[in-house]
């Protein structure tokens, strides 16, 4: 099945695939950033908010977490038509969905910070907001690291689903390579090659984030 000639074909198109990998990485970063910017406040609203704001956040969270990412992307592309650019559409889709997950990560982390921390902060005269900002949030952010790490790899892998809206990221380029070049014998080689790239990316990020969370961990068994 695997043939030397087809490997050569993969090598010939190395640049083409590498550009795809760059798009994949770029999309991952923009999506995660959007997800963080929206998801962090959303998590706080779920914990500390009340009334209609909290309702809206939690219902949109359920909708975003309960719908396949491919459906979300197509809704954004064809129904909402937020942008002609597949990259922007994919960013918004992955970003919104990631926000829904990141809000859960932060919510759990905020709730896991001991009540006593809040009381102690209030006792030294901080306002509720100050206590949240200076005492609870810094601890919660550290506790979110494992969840965030997980989210990172999920988004990275799910960028491949932008295939559905024709974004020329890594997987799409792999697909195009064997459908358009008439090189159908190279299918396996192409997909093994791009899978390897994904693997290196996820594995690499995971190890890097492991390091990071070790570095930022609070001593005395706080890190899991």
Torsion from C-alpha of 94, 60, 106, 146, nearest 10 degrees: -40
Which of 35, 86, 149, 165 is in the footprint of another protein by CB under 8 A? Answer: 149
Burial of 143 (0-12, 13-18, 19+ CB in 10 A): buried
Asked if 144 touches another protein (CB under 8 A), the answer is yes
Asked if 54 touches another protein (CB under 8 A), the answer is no
Asked if 171 touches another protein (CB under 8 A), the answer is yes
**Total length of the chain:** 224
In the complex, minimum distance from the CB of residue 124 to another protein, in angstroms, rounded to a whole number: 23
- Interaction pattern, residues 74-113, with another protein; x per rule: CB under 8 A: xx--xx---------------------x--xx--xx-xx-
Distances (CA, A) of 36 to 171, 187, 224: 25, 36, 22
* Rg (alpha carbons) of the chain, rounded to whole number: 21
Taking phi over 0 as left and psi of -120 to 50 as alpha, with beta for the rest, 67 belongs to beta
Asked if 117 touches another protein (CB under 8 A), the answer is no
Distances (CA, A) of 155 to 27, 133, 163, 182: 9, 28, 14, 31
* Residue 220: how many other CB atoms lie within 10 Å: 6
Query: Contact region for another protein (CB under 8 A) — 34-42, 118-126, 130-138, 196-204?
Result: 196-204
Counting residues that bind another protein (by CB under 8 A) gives: 52
Query: Contact region for another protein (CB under 8 A) — 8-16, 84-92, 126-134, 156-164?
Result: 156-164
**Which residues are at the interface with another protein (CB under 8 A)?**
1, 62-63, 65-72, 74-75, 78-79, 101, 104-105, 108-109, 111-112, 114, 143-144, 146-147, 149-150, 153-154, 157-158, 160-161, 163-164, 171, 174-175, 178, 187-188, 191-192, 194-195, 198-199, 202-203, 224
């Amino acid at each position: 099945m695997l043939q030397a000639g087809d490997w050569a074909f993969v090598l010939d198109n190395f640049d083409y695939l590498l550009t795809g990998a760059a798009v994949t990485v770029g999309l991952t970063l923009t999506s995660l950033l959007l997800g963080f910017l929206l998801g962090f406040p959303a998590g706080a609203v779920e914990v500390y908010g009340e009334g209609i704001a909290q309702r809206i956040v939690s219902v949109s969270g359920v909708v975003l977490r309960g719908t396949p990412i491919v459906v979300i992307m197509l809704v954004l592309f064809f129904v909402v038509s937020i942008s002609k650019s597949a990259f922007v559409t994919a960013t918004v889709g992955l970003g919104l969905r990631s926000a829904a997950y990141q809000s859960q990560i932060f919510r759990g982390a905020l709730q896991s910070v001991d009540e006593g921390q809040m009381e102690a902060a209030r006792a030294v005269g901080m306002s509720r907001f100050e206590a949240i900002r200076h005492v609870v949030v810094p601890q919660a952010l550290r506790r979110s690291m494992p969840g965030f790490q997980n989210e990172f790899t999920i988004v990275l892998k799910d960028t491949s689903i932008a295939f559905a809206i024709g974004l020329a990221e890594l997987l799409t380029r792999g697909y195009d390579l064997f459908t358009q070049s008439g090189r159908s014998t190279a299918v396996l080689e192409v997909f093994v090659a791009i899978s390897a790239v994904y693997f290196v990316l996820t594995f690499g990020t995971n190890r890097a984030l492991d390091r990071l969370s070790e570095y930022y961990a609070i001593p005395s068994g706080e890190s899991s």
